[in-house]
Each structure stands twice: as structure tokens, then as C-alpha cells.
């Protein structure tokens, strides 16, 4: 994380005493410039595409008669947006809808699109659905790494653990529920499940699991952790195709699920047991 970002997050609402606002207030959103880790590795442009998928489970507002409405909202933020938004400020912003009257759900959606696109510095798509239409819990696809019998020594990112194994090229999906990092503002744990899909020389599975576990004491935002995982695998293992998709455990009514890929593929917005 750059020194500029360190200074920026000191001003973030997270970890500070906060007055909750219940009338519409887009100024609650607190933007932080994205840390473009790919530039530090010498790339002229990012070797991936993707987005950050946020789900809000506590969206509520009043209809014209003052009757509360509740919904779940999905937000897709392009990974090339200029900024991320600090999660507590996002929560405070959504909370500001609680006692605000809107003529329709379309008006709510319009405000969300305009405010968030401005805050993130990129076009944010917003989908609002009723609670009755919410999706069911599903598992990640592929083979689990979590049953491997390994000895772990690293709890800070250790990309040197990554390597390709000998053998014919493969096309496979691997996942783990053992990813944990820490909030860079409060130090609180951020738990996640992560799915890695690739085509190329087989990735050494024990080394991959050890590498994922090595984030256990690392402090950074969800988006930056997933981006760094993608970049390390991409550089160290050199797959022909690679996708990294993390589903972080919900906090404060929001979950954040970054996706980075060499392909123009959009994954399903599944919901895991811990979400």
C-alpha cells in the first residue's frame, strides 16, 4: 500500500466514532485511490480484467406514503475504476436511505448508480431485488485444497511458495476456505473463500495452499489482496489463462467479492454459507 493511501485511510470513517445519518446523504461515501500493484511489477497495463462485486443485505427506504421498503442490492465496480470506497462509509451511505422517501425503486437505483459511479471513479452497475428473489446458498466449484496435509511457516505473503509442477497442461478449478487477511484500518480479520481457475502447467497444490494461508497476518483491502494473488500466480506459474475469485464474509450488511481474470468472463454471484 502506498504512503498516500496510508495517509488517506487515517481519515476514513472505519475505526472512528460515527454519527449515523438516516436521511439521504451521498457525502458519506469516502473514496481511496486504488493501489495499482501491477504497475510495481513492470506492466504497462493490467494483465487482467474484472470487477469488485458488492452485495448489500440491509438496503431500505420509504415509499411515498412513508412505508418502509427492504431489498438486496448488487453492485459491480470495474477493476479499472480510479478509486475504491471504504466499506464503513458505504454502509453509512446506504443507512442514509432509511428515512428518505422515494417515488419508486427506479429512483433509488438511479441515485445509487450516480453517487457510486462518482465515488468509485467508474461506471457502477446496480441491481436491486426483493428478499423473496434472493439466491440460494451454493458451494464453490472445483477441488478443495483444504484437506492437504501441509506444514505452514509463513503468515505474510510469500509468493516464493508458488511454482508449476511437471506434467501435461491442465484445465482446473481449485478452491480454499482458508484465506484470511486483516483490515488495514482496524486490524480486524477478513475471512474469505477463494476459487482459482486456470489453464496451463499444473500448479503445485501444496505450495498454492501455503501461499494462500500466508496472507493470514497481512493487512490490506479485499480488492488489493485478490489482485496481488492474481499477479503472483500469473508471474510465478505463467498459466495460459487465469481467474481468481474471492468471496469475503459479510460485515456490516455488506460483502465484497473481487474477481480478476485474463478472460472476459462474468462469474455467477453465488452466495456461500458464511455470507
pLDDT of residue 138: 92
**Pick from 101, 36, 33, 37: nearest CA to 64:** 101
Distant-in-sequence, close-in-space partners of 39: CB < 8 Å, separation ≥ 6 = none
In this predicted model, what pLDDT tens digit does every residue of 163-198 receive, in sequence order? 998 889 999 999 999 999 999 989 999 999 999 999
Tell me which fold the domain 143-261 belongs to: GTP Cyclohydrolase I, domain 2 (3.30.1130)
pLDDT of residue 84: 97
183 is catalytic: yes
What's the whole-model pTM score? 0.91
22 is catalytic: no
In this predicted model, what pLDDT tens digit does every residue of 18-64 receive, in sequence order? 678 989 999 999 999 999 999 988 999 999 999 999 999 999 999 99
85 marked among binding-site residues: yes
Position 10 pLDDT exceeds 80: no
Rounded-to-10 torsion of CA 29, 33, 38, 42: 170
Whole-angstrom Cα Rg for the chain: 19
86 marked among binding-site residues: yes
Catalytic, out of 79, 115, 183, 220: 183
CATH classification number, 3-129, choose in 3.30.1130.10, 3.40.50.620, 3.40.920.10, 3.40.720.10: 3.30.1130.10
88 marked among binding-site residues: yes
The residues of the chain that CATH labels 3.30.1130.10 are: 3-129, 143-261
Amino acid at each position: 500500500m502506498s504512503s498516500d493511501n496510508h495517509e488517506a485511510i487515517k481519515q476514513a470513517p472505519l475505526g472512528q466514532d460515527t454519527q449515523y445519518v438516516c436521511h439521504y446523504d451521498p457525502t458519506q461515501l469516502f473514496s481511496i485511490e486504488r493501489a495499482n500493484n501491477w504497475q510495481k511489477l513492470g506492466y504497462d497495463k493490467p494483465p487482467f480484467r474484472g470487477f469488485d462485486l458488492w452485495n448489500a443485505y440491509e438496503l431500505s427506504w420509504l415509499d411515498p406514503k412513508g412505508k418502509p421498503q427492504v431489498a438486496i442490492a448488487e453492485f459491480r465496480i470495474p477493476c479499472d475504476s480510479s478509486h475504491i470506497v471504504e466499506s464503513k462509509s458505504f454502509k453509512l451511505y446506504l443507512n442514509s436511505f432509511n428515512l428518505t422517501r422515494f417515488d419508486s425503486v427506479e429512483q433509488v437505483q438511479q441515485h445509487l448508480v450516480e453517487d457510486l459511479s462518482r465515488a468509485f471513479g467508474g461506471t457502477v452497475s446496480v441491481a436491486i431485488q426483493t428478499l423473496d428473489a434472493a439466491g440460494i446458498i451454493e458451494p464453490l466449484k472445483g477441488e478443495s485444497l483444504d484437506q492437504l496435509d501441509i506444514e505452514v511457516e509463513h503468515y505474510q505473503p510469500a509468493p516464493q511458495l508458488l511454482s508449476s509442477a511437471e506434467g501435461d497442461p491442465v484445465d482446473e478449478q481449485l478452491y480454499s476456505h482458508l484465506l484470511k487477511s486483516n483490515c488495514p484500518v482496524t486490524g480486524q480479520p477478513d475471512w474469505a473463500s477463494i476459487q482459482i481457475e486456470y489453464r496451463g502447467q499444473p500448479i503445485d497444490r501444496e505450495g498454492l495452499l501455503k501461499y494462500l494461508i500466508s496472507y493470514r497476518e497481512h493487512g490490506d483491502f479485499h480488492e488489493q489482496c485478490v489482485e496481488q494473488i492474481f499477479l503472483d500466480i500469473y508471474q510465478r506459474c505463467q498459466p495460459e489463462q487465469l481467474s481468481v475469485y474471492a468471496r469475503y464474509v459479510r460485515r456490516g450488511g455488506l460483502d465484497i467479492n473481487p474477481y480478476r481474470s485474463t478472460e472476459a468472463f462474468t462469474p455467477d454471484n453465488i452466495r456461500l454459507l458464511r455470507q
